[in-house]
Amino acid sequence: MSLLITNAVLDDTSVSIMIDREKITAVYQSDSIQPVFKADTVLDAAGKVAVPTFKNGHTHAAMTLLRGYADDMKLQPWLEEKIWPAEARLTGDHIYWGTRLAALEMIKTGTTFCNDMYFHFPQAWKAYRDSGIKAAVGPAIIDHMNEERTDQILTDLKEKFSEYSGADEKLIFSPAPHAVYTVSEKTLRRIADFCREKGLIVHIHLSETEKEVNDCIAAQGMRPAEYLDSIGFLGPNVIAAHGVWLNDREIELLAEHQVTVVHNPVSNMKLSSGSCFRFGDLNANKVPMMLGTDGCSSNNNLDMCEEMKAAALLQKHHFLDTELMSADEIFSIATGGKTRIYPNISSNIKPGDYADLLLIDPNHYKMVPNFNTISNLVYSCGEEAFDTVICSGEILMQNREVDDEDTVIEEARRCARELVSE
């Protein structure tokens, strides 16, 4: 498949963007002499602004089914009385349609990649494949600190790796041990060894709450990042979600091992995590970073524009520094420009990059006047100005329309009713 986009605006210049299969092959100014390029599809962008798409660094996608189900509650009652009982009733069908709904929402809001952690992994994999977006997705692993389960967990992991790894060019097989307080040391060590051996990315929660830190100190005599370092878990293939309770030594360890840390500001604020992501210190230490939404039961959406604004304003407010986390910085983080952990995403629009593009209507009222496109995207604009979404050269949304949208919404609504009916 090939695609030619004409009359797009890139860096204030009218250009044509040539795409062959999943990558950009050329970008030419519209008024220049262009090579002959017989594309399967020609898309006239009609002056729309082209920017890279967003990459959601941490979510629990199928929790779209629990959007608004349990809000404004303290963390433990929220989990124990609402979320866990509902999750215990999840079926593969629920996961499939909840993930399809998440993918639809991400497409509509300009996101073409997410890093997912949830149950019934095969159904989530199928949902991403059917939706057309990219994802890192693998088995969510919890052994409830029972090392007797380690061997079976590793057997299951190896079987799924053999079946799924490399099966789809848009999807990355990525095991997801939940956290240091739900996965035993033996299982964490074995997962780390297996992922290094196979070249896999591993996804884990890290230092989301003060309780997690205090419990780890009580159990292990050290803080979570120190503990993971002591058991050989940390490395450049690790992506760690949250990181709002890190101290200086832990930041140094994350920098040393080039662990990618994912900031989830809306979820952290909504669940009163009680601390603030230390962006300035992480950035100064050159720690790779991404931005994430977390799941819809603790956010309650997957809108990366909203997440960018919340992230930037939280930094300025908490650290009393208006220059901290500029629009350009948070946009780079949100589009994947501050990490190299995922090989199938790009954060630029240039030859050789994956063709992951968002076309924005510059005449939408939230884009006028357009003194600075990136500033508008972070502080003003939203999905209503997003016209077209392209993922690896495939048009997933055009004129704000997505295939099967009505079916996805209907099926997800049915699954949500089933999930909470008791």
User: Nearest Cα to 376, choosing from 348, 363, 368?
Assistant: 368
**pLDDT averaged over every residue in the chain:** 96
Give strand pairing partners of 177. 141
Q: pLDDT tens, 13-32?
A: 999 999 999 999 999 998 88
End-to-end CA distance of the chain: 47
Model confidence pLDDT, tens digit, residues 188-233: 999 999 999 999 999 999 999 999 999 999 999 999 999 999 999 9
Tell me the average pLDDT across 269-285: 96
Cα 389 from Cα 43, distance rounded (Å): 12
What pLDDT is stored for residue 392 in this prediction?
A: 98
> Using one digit for the tens of pLDDT, what is the confidence trace for 60-85?
999 999 999 989 988 778 888 988 89
pLDDT digit string (tens) for 114-154? 999 999 999 999 999 999 999 999 999 999 999 999 999 99
Instruction: Please tell us whether the domain made up of 2-52+353-405 is placed in CATH 2.30.40.10.
Output: yes
* Strand partners for 43: 5
For the chain, domain boundaries: 2-52+353-405, 54-334
Give burial (CB, 10 Å; 0-12/13-18/19+) of 86.
buried
pLDDT at 218: 98
Query: Distance (Å, rounded) from C-alpha 34 to C-alpha 339?
Result: 33
User: From CA 269, how far away is CA 129, in angstroms rounded?
Assistant: 32
Give pLDDT, residue 422: 63
According to the model, what pLDDT value does residue 204 have?
98
Residue 262: Cβ within 10 Å count: 27
Q: What is the DSSP letter of 264?
A: -
Q: Which residues contact 73 (CB under 8 A, 6 or more apart)?
A: 81, 82
Residues 6+ apart with CB under 8 A from 241: 57, 58, 117, 203, 204, 205, 206, 208, 261, 262, 264, 292, 294
Reduced to 3 states (helix: H, G, I; strand: E, B; else coil), residue 362 is coil
Strands in 243-340 per DSSP E = 260-263, 289-291
How far is the C-alpha of 27 from the C-alpha of 214, rounded, in Å? 52
Residue 35 has pLDDT above 80, yes or no: no
Polymer length of the chain: 422
Question: Is 55:342 a contact under the CB 8 Å cutoff?
Answer: yes
Supply the pLDDT for residue 77: 85
* Range of weakest confidence among 33-47, 204-218, 286-300, 327-341: 33-47
Q: Is the pLDDT of residue 292 over 70?
A: yes
Which of the listed CATH numbers 3.50.50.60, 3.40.630.30, 3.20.20.140, 1.10.10.60 matches domain 54-334?
3.20.20.140
pLDDT at 173 over 80: yes
